[in-house]
Chain A
Amino acid sequence: MNAPIIDPLQGDFPEVIEEYLEHGVMKCIAFNRRGTLLAAGCSDGSCVIWDFETRGIAKELRDKDCVAAITSVCWSKYGHRILVSSADKSLTLWDVVKEERIARTTLPQTPLQARLHPGSSTPSICLACPFSSAPMIVDMNTGNTTVLPVSISDTGNGVVPPSRNRFSDGSAPFSPTAACFNKYGDLVYVGNSKGELLIVDHKNVLICGIVPVPGNAVIKNMVFSRNGQYLLTNSNDRTIRIYENLLPLKGGLKFLEESNHAGDEQDGFEKLKAVGSRCLALFREFQDSITKVHWKAPCFSGDGEWVIGGSASKGEHKIYIWDKAGHLVKILEGPKEALIDLAWHPVHPIVVSVSLTGLVYIWAKDYTENWSAFAPDFKELEENEEYVEREDEFDLMPETEKVKESDVDEDEEIDIMGVEKDSAFSDSDMSQGEICFLPADPSPDVPEPQDKFVGSNSKQGDSNQSVSALSEEAGQSGRLTSHISTPLEGNIKSEFS
């Protein structure tokens, strides 16, 4: 998707709220792999899929059995399936294109987060992190759950065999345990309430390595960067930590097994720590030492160059942006509503945040029109340059007419068909038939007086409340039709036409 003349905006970050999306009360969001679709879980149990390019609703997944708030939403790798976890303790797997429910399971506890296995295009295995017990692998087809170990006994006698349907660590109740798949899903990384990072082989239910996090604070969130090279942990000691993944991306599990046999350290806890130190290396720590704020929903940018975290303080909507070197580059401030979820667009420098009121704010770069793009021979300069004229600059030379020589060799072969692979998506397997967009079904015009569109400026599109066809959708009580609204006042720079 990168054309050579579009500015390489990959290394940049957003600055202002561009737009907001409104549809019921949205609670959590997830982009598909290419960022063309945004799935949002709502408080009424439905999941809305926004077409991010038109900022309109593409599909709505609604299940009559599920009316409790959605706690998390996750896409399958190529966009064919969506997994939603809900406050009524259920997990629902949807087929996106057919808008059909594939499977539904109920867990003993409300899952706060559920992630589909990232390695397959039609996954039915997922990782669920329940409210106050150990994370588990759930097979959506059979409903089987496999609880993952969250600690080993301190005597160091090896792994405590996990038993099903029992809380496997005796820690205090209501302590969430964070977990995530690595990039290809062969390993699960678990962060427990003792501040330890466990590397778990989920197929054999075996802890392969342990990395104690400095500070030993409860780990609240964990997420990998898109390229699988960095792991982010968010701990109760108000610190976000970035670890470098030392394992090879593909076949990490094999590598671990081989190195396990190779090393001859002591057994048990020390051995697991030694293995762990070969898997992850602490890279950076981020915290706000002045306000000592807790972090909410931290994550990486699409290219892994930036880290963002939302402030968990109620009553403020602040997003901190750090670069990989550890410098705080920007604090985005939104309207005074608590932030509950955050996502960075996989490709563009766009950040999407969900506020407590259920609105989804889209943050983008504050664009100043590149005027030199409108005139071909002009080049914008950063600062004034002193121009020194040539001796013969203004001489009239009538005998040598300036002939425009075409220095182009018109006989050169050109290729109008060849296409380069998209470098931003290195493991794009086109044979999988990735879903990049959902076919748009235009809603038919209703024969009633059409309202006239006000002449709009190029940045925002039309003002809201286009009445005619949109308000006729019956049968969905309380459902607002999607519309693009002008941004709120306050911290947002006013738009110019």
Chain B
Amino acid sequence: MALTIDPTESFKPYTLKHTLPAHKHAISSVKFSDDGRLLASSSADKTARIYSISGSSAIVRHELEGHEQGISDLAFSSDSRYLVTAADDRTIHLWDVSTGAHIKTLIGHTNYVFCVNFNPQSNMLASGSYDETVRIWDIKSGKCIKVLPAHSDLVTAVNFNRDGTLIVSSSYDGLCRIWDASTGHCMKTLVDDEHPPVSFVKFSPNGKFILVGTLDNTLRLWNYSTGKFLKTYSGHVNSKYCISSAFSITNGKYIVSGSEDNNVYLWELQSRKVVQKLEGHTDTVISVSCHPTENMIASGALGNDKTVKIWTQD
């Protein structure tokens, strides 16, 4: 199932552990909760699922229905009590994780909502949309606190840093922008000379670097203070879809990403070498997530495949 390329001395390859029951249409996002006990997947079939993890198996706990159109992204709150889903029906839904009940609908975006993320304090939410704005919402009241005139094309990703003071956003306009979360002011814009559409961005665990995925088959690690990129990861295929990537830090430091050649790629962080390609999906792997404490990766793929697969190192 898994092919190993350039084995480093201590790297143990990941193997496929489980394939979860398929959604009805393409998967759009998979995420582990911060406490590691839950996994969630969202799909173009307008539903999201919450699974509970035991060992390395995952059992469906709730099916969240209620969106009128396909869901593009989801996020857990940091205490794992709430889940938000962002959909093409221009709304964001807030769900209670333990009961699966729908709590709130956040209305405000004027076009498809594409990406969503909580801040670490989980009292605010940031969302990016096809309407080119990033909105910041107050969880308690459900009101939109700020609208950031973020980009000139659709916003593909939003992410808070570890203390919730900064937000990074990326867009098809080729830019990554860093915002002050409390005031909504733009702090910095990062762009490369050739500015291919940016399909994904997230902060490193310590908040000093950002991992940027662009539609020229490249992943880069930028130091946003200096505005220079420090590492480049390539070998995968990414020119059409907004594929998410992740940091794997439980057993050595790696970058994990999906790819349009149906594999999941793992690179060693420092050496940038591809250490493994996880094969098994039958369509583009659109989203990956790393478990916070175990050596576990979850991946979700598009319409030909429609499944979430769980990989572990044993």
Residues of A within 8 A of B (CB): 1, 3-6, 36, 51, 53-58, 348, 367, 369-370, 373-376, 404, 408, 410-419, 436-445, 450, 452-453, 455-459, 461-462, 466, 469-470, 482, 484
Q: Which residue of B lies closest to A413 (CB)?
A: B270
A442 B94 Cβ-Cβ under 8 A? yes
User: In whole Å, how far is A380's beta carbon from the nearest beta carbon of chain B?
Assistant: 13
Given A369-B186, A437-B123 in contact, is the A5-B224 Cβ separation under 8 Å? yes
A453 B141 Cβ-Cβ under 8 A? no
User: In whole Å, how far is A349's beta carbon from the nearest beta carbon of chain B?
Assistant: 11
Contacts of B180 in A (CB 8 A): 6
A466 B105 Cβ-Cβ under 8 A? no
Given A51-B123, A417-B249 in contact, is the A440-B139 Cβ separation under 8 Å? yes
B185 at the interface (CB under 8 A from A): yes
Contacts of B162 in A (CB 8 A): 419
Q: How far is the CA of A284 from the CA of B270 in the complex (A)?
A: 55
A439 B122 Cβ-Cβ under 8 A? yes
Listed by A's residue number, 13 A-B pairs whose Cβ atoms lie within 8 Å are A4-B225, A55-B138, A373-B186, A375-B189, A410-B231, A416-B221, A417-B204, A418-B206, A436-B121, A443-B140, A452-B107, A458-B146, A458-B148
Contacts of A439 in B (CB 8 A): 79, 81, 122-123
Q: CB < 8 Å: which of B140, B166, B209 contacts A51?
A: B140
Beyond the given pairs A436-B121, A445-B105, 18 more chain A to chain B contacts, judged by CB atoms under 8 angstroms and listed by A's residue number, are A5-B188, A54-B123, A55-B145, A57-B140, A58-B140, A417-B206, A417-B253, A419-B162, A439-B81, A440-B122, A442-B103, A456-B147, A458-B149, A458-B184, A459-B184, A461-B144, A462-B144, A469-B141
Q: How far is the CA of A469 from the CA of B209 in the complex (A)?
A: 39
User: In whole Å, how far is A276's beta carbon from the nearest beta carbon of chain B?
Assistant: 42
The binding surface of chain A is classed by DSSP as loop
Contacts of B231 in A (CB 8 A): 410, 414
Residues of B within 8 A of A (CB): 79, 81-82, 94, 102-105, 107-108, 110, 121-124, 138-149, 161-166, 177-178, 180-191, 193, 204-209, 221, 223-225, 227-232, 247, 249, 253, 269-272
Q: Which residue of A lies closest to B79 (CB)?
A: A439
What 4 pairs across the A-B complex have the smallest Cβ distances?
Answer: A416-B204, A437-B121, A54-B138, A440-B123
B184 A373 Cβ-Cβ under 8 A? no
Q: How far is the CA of A452 from the CA of B121 in the complex (A)?
A: 27
Contacts of A484 in B (CB 8 A): 143, 145
Q: How far is the CA of A49 from the CA of B63 in the complex (A)?
A: 36
Residue of A374, A416, A437, A441 with most partner-chain B CB within 10 A:
A416
A6 B79 Cβ-Cβ under 8 A? no
A442 B142 Cβ-Cβ under 8 A? yes
Q: How far is the CA of A425 from the CA of B221 in the complex (A)?
A: 30
Q: How far is the CA of A416 from the CA of B202 in the complex (A)?
A: 12
Q: CB < 8 Å: which of A348, A441, A455 contacts B147?
A: A455
Contacts of A4 in B (CB 8 A): 225
Contacts of B107 in A (CB 8 A): 450, 452-453
Contacts of B208 in A (CB 8 A): 415-416
Q: How far is the CA of A444 from the CA of B143 in the complex (A)?
A: 12
Contacts of A414 in B (CB 8 A): 209, 221, 223, 230-231, 269-270
Residue of B122, B188, B231 with most partner-chain A CB within 10 A:
B188
Given A53-B124, A450-B107 in contact, is the A373-B142 Cβ separation under 8 Å? no
Contacts of B272 in A (CB 8 A): 410
B138 A56 Cβ-Cβ under 8 A? yes
A410 B187 Cβ-Cβ under 8 A? no
Contacts of A443 in B (CB 8 A): 104, 140-142
User: In whole Å, how far is B76's beta carbon from the nearest beta carbon of chain A?
Assistant: 14
A373 B138 Cβ-Cβ under 8 A? no
User: In whole Å, how far is A408's beta carbon from the nearest beta carbon of chain B?
Assistant: 6
User: In whole Å, how far is B7's beta carbon from the nearest beta carbon of chain A?
Assistant: 20
Q: How far is the CA of A457 from the CA of B133 in the complex (A)?
A: 11
A445 B124 Cβ-Cβ under 8 A? no
Contacts of A419 in B (CB 8 A): 162, 206-207
